[in-house]
Structure formats: structure tokens, C-alpha cells
Structure 1
Amino acid sequence: MFEKKLAEIKDMQRMAEELAQMISSAQQEIKDHMTQQGLETLVAGTYKATYKSVTSRSIDSKRLKEFAPELAELCSKARTTRRFTIA
């Protein structure tokens, strides 16, 4: 009953993966150029691309569990989701 719809989804997923690869490749080409030229900002026509370092901080949960397991447990939360897959 849903075989055709599932086949369509699989085909669209394949196309999405191909597009993601193409996007990644194009982005890498631009980033390589910007790195070689020492640019953080690139303006091309009406488009503006930025490629710069960003520093962020996060909690190392493995280390927190090692040094303060009760605190890690107290601050953790369970999350239940439903996963849809097609094999």
C-alpha cells in the first residue's frame, strides 16, 4: 500500500544526499579561496559570505560525570523521540 511512497522517499533522500555533497563541495571551494586570500568576508554581487573563527564553550559531559557524577545526574534530562527509518 505504501511501497510507492516509501520508494519515492528513498529516491528523494538519495537526491538530498547528492545535493548536500554538491553544496559542501561548492562551500569548500569558496572557503579555500577565502583562506588562500586571507579573507573573512567575500562580497560577490548581491551576496556576502563570511568565513571566520568562532569560539564557543560547552560542558564536557564525560568529564563532568567523572568528577561529579551526582551533579551530572541531577542536571541531565531524558528525552524520548520516535525515529522513522526506511530500510
Structure 2
Amino acid sequence: MSINEIEAKARELRQLQALIEEAQAEAETIKDAIKAAMGDSESIQAGEYKITWKAVTSSRIDTTALKKALPDVAERFTKETTTRRFCVA
């Protein structure tokens, strides 16, 4: 693929990413409106759609506190990974 073709693909990608961002922002606005209408309800039926908005509790390890309290344990269980990040600037 030539540099001109890559440039055209990068331009097309940026345009598509902008459309995706717009659509995601619009979707968030719609979600917020539905949540506001639901108030404190966890579930509603809207025609064919069942909409739920429930609290979810999860547990996570506070790695900063673990490194302070037990640095040797934190180091033993820390796994380093390498990935390639793709970015069009």
C-alpha cells in the first residue's frame, strides 16, 4: 500500500471514528433520559423492551495500598505485559 493510500485510509478512519463518537454521545444522552425517567426503579417494561438499571457491587484489589503494605507480595504477583498501541494523530 502506498503512502497516499495509507493517508486516504487514515482520513477515512478518522471520519468513521468521529461518527462513532457522535453516535456514542447521542446514545449516552438517550440512556441518561431513560435513567431520569426511571428514577429509583430498577426495572421497567416499555413495550417490547425490558429496561434494567441495577446497582452492581464488585471487589477490586487496591494495588497502590498493596504495594505500600506488602511490596514483596505485590511484586511477586505483578505480571508485566507488552502490547502495541495503534493511534492515528
Distance 1:75 1:28 in 2: 39
Runs of 4+ in 1 over 4 A off after TM superposition: none
Question: Aligned match of 2:30 in 19, 26, 32?
Answer: 26
* CA root-mean-square deviation: 0.8
1:60 matched to 2:26? The reply is no
Aligned residue type for 2:15: D
Question: Aligned match of 1:49 in 32, 48, 51?
Answer: 51
List gaps (5 residues or longer) in structure 2: none
Distance 2:84 2:29 in 1: 32
Question: Aligned match of 1:7 in 5, 11, 23?
Answer: 11
List gaps (5 residues or longer) in structure 1: none
Aligned residues with identical type, % of pairs: 39
TM-score scaled to structure 1, two decimals? 0.93
Distance 2:45 2:75 in 1: 48
